[in-house]
Copies of this chain bind each other. A is one copy, B any other.
Amino acid sequence: MERGRTATEGSGAERTAARQHHGNRHGRSERARQAVLEAADGLLVEKGFTGVTIEGIASSAGVAKQTIYRWWSTKTDILLDAFLQDATEALTPPDHGDLTEDLGAHLHQLALFLTRSDAGTVFTALLGHAQHDPAFAGVLRARYLDEQRRRDRLPLDNAVRRGELPADLDTVAEVDQLVGPIYHRVLVTGDPVDRAFTDLLVDNFLRRHRVR
């Protein structure tokens, strides 16, 4: 799949080859790429979103600014790459065949991710930026959110397949009601999101659909 110059690039052989040189005719420097992503991540955690600058990244990664501009176009582009590299597999819901358990574990995991992890910090920063930049919001959805929402729906889809839930379930609206309150607390109210709260959400979902 082609994702343009800002993509995290291919994998395997190409990356392995790139790893062996620093700036020559054989493609981009994997070393520089990693240094940039790590520097961006580090700066965000250390100094916050505003403290992340292209110049700061360049100097703290020991990389020329031009090298950054060659592969990325904005600092959020970099942060998104950094985020994707770290966090892609983190939020896949479990599948133990038990809706209650899987849903509870997933929502709890989501809450922990958003409020406790470095990756979550990067992600909420990117969500914040998305409010200021509709184009970036689109990129964020295309490169992460759409996929994540698909993963969020998995427990419901599985349950539908198992016959635990009706086939005509509006999973989009249901997921909104499951994760929406969590995002609301994280992004809007700042209230803590404890296990009791995520379990309440699950419970209400189950009662709504007379499961059990």
A177 touches B204 (CB 8 A): yes
Say yes or no for A131: interface residue by CB 8 A criterion.
Answer: yes
Which B residues touch A197, using CB under 8 A?
Answer: 173, 176
Given contacts A48-B132, A176-B184, A183-B183, contact A189 B149 (CB under 8 A): yes
Q: Whose C-beta in chain B lies nearest to the C-beta of A123?
A: B131
B188 touches A201 (CB 8 A): no
Which B residues touch A204, using CB under 8 A?
Answer: 177, 204, 208
Given contacts A127-B187, A173-B200, A189-B141, contact A48 B133 (CB under 8 A): yes
Q: Whose C-beta in chain B lies nearest to the C-beta of A128?
A: B131
Given contacts A128-B129, A131-B127, contact A176 B187 (CB under 8 A): no
Say yes or no for A11: interface residue by CB 8 A criterion.
Answer: no
CA of A186 to CA of B48, assembled, Å: 24
Given contacts A173-B197, A208-B204, contact A190 B137 (CB under 8 A): yes
How far, in Å, is A15 (CB) from chain B's closest CB? 27
14 residue pairs bridging A and B, Cβ less than 8 Å apart: A48-B132, A49-B132, A127-B131, A127-B187, A145-B189, A173-B200, A176-B184, A177-B180, A179-B184, A181-B181, A183-B183, A204-B204, A204-B208, A207-B208
3 smallest beta-carbon distances between A and B, as pairs: A128-B131, A180-B184, A180-B181
